[in-house]
Structure 1
Amino acid sequence: MLDVNQYFDGKVKSIALQTETLPATVGVMTAGDYEFGTSQKEVMTVVSGSMSVKLPGSDTFQTFTQGQSFNLDANVKFQVSISADTVYFCTYE
């Protein structure tokens, strides 16, 4: 069964699924600035578009583009800035 989630007044939408090995989400973020929190380890991959991310412990944003990934520990917050619709795939451990 697929679960659809939306955040930030519908500007971020994701569909939760179970892959062969890990739970995951695939989603879209529209232009905007967002702050997310994690409850478990995550690996986020940009499928289409780009996102500027301020990772935990960093003072600057780093841009990730199509095919690039970044890792997040559990129980952290991170900021994302999106300039155009961006598709992502995220796995959870």
Structure 2
Amino acid sequence: MFKTNHYFDGKVTSIAFQTETLPATVGVMAQGDYEFGTSQKEYMTVTSGSLTVKLPGADNWVTFKQGETFTVEANQTFQVKADVESAYLCLYE
């Protein structure tokens, strides 16, 4: 069954589900700045809009557009800026 999560006063909402191979979430982000922590390795694909991300240990921000994926290792924190309402798919390993 699906599990819905709301973060940052409802500005980020995700629905958790199980793919054929890995657990996943699909979600949406309102415009804003966010910091996330990981407990598992995450593969995050932007499905609509764009996300500007500062990955762990990086000095620079990188913008990921629709169809592009970034990876964050387990037990890390990363920062995200959404300049427009955006959607994503996140797979967990």
- Rounded to whole Å, the distance in 1 between the matches of 2:16 and 2:67 is 20
CA distance in 1, matches of 2:79, 2:73: 14
Task: Name the amino acid aligned to 2:86.
Answer: T
Structure 2 unaligned spans of 5+? none
Specify the code of the residue in structure 1 equivalent to 2:73: D
Shift of 1:60: 1.2
Letter in 2 for 1:31: Q
Which residue in 2 is equivalent to 1:92? 92
- Aligned residue for 1:9? 9
Distance in 2 (CA, whole Å) between partners of 1:48 and 1:54 is: 19
- RMSD of the alignment, in Å? 0.4
Confirm or deny that 1:21 pairs with 2:59.
no
- Find the residue that maps to 1:74 and give its secondary structure: coil
Matched AA of 1:75: N
Separation (CA, whole Å) in 1 of partners of 2:24 and 2:92? 6
**TM-score, normalised via structure 2 length:** 0.99
List runs of 5+ in structure 1 lacking aligned partners. Answer: none
Match of 1:24, SS?
strand
Q: TM-score, normalised by structure 1?
A: 0.99
CA distance in 1, matches of 2:32, 2:52: 11
Identity of aligned residues (%): 65
What amino acid sits opposite 1:56 in the alignment? Answer: P
Determine helix, strand or coil for the equivalent of 1:84. coil
- Residue correspondence of structure 1 range 34-53 to structure 2 within 5 A: 34-53=34-53
Secondary structure of the 2:88 match is strand
Could you tell me which residue of structure 2 aligns to residue 73 of structure 1? 73
Q: Deviation above 6 Å: which 4+ runs of structure 1?
A: none
2: CA distance, partners of 1:13 / 1:79: 16
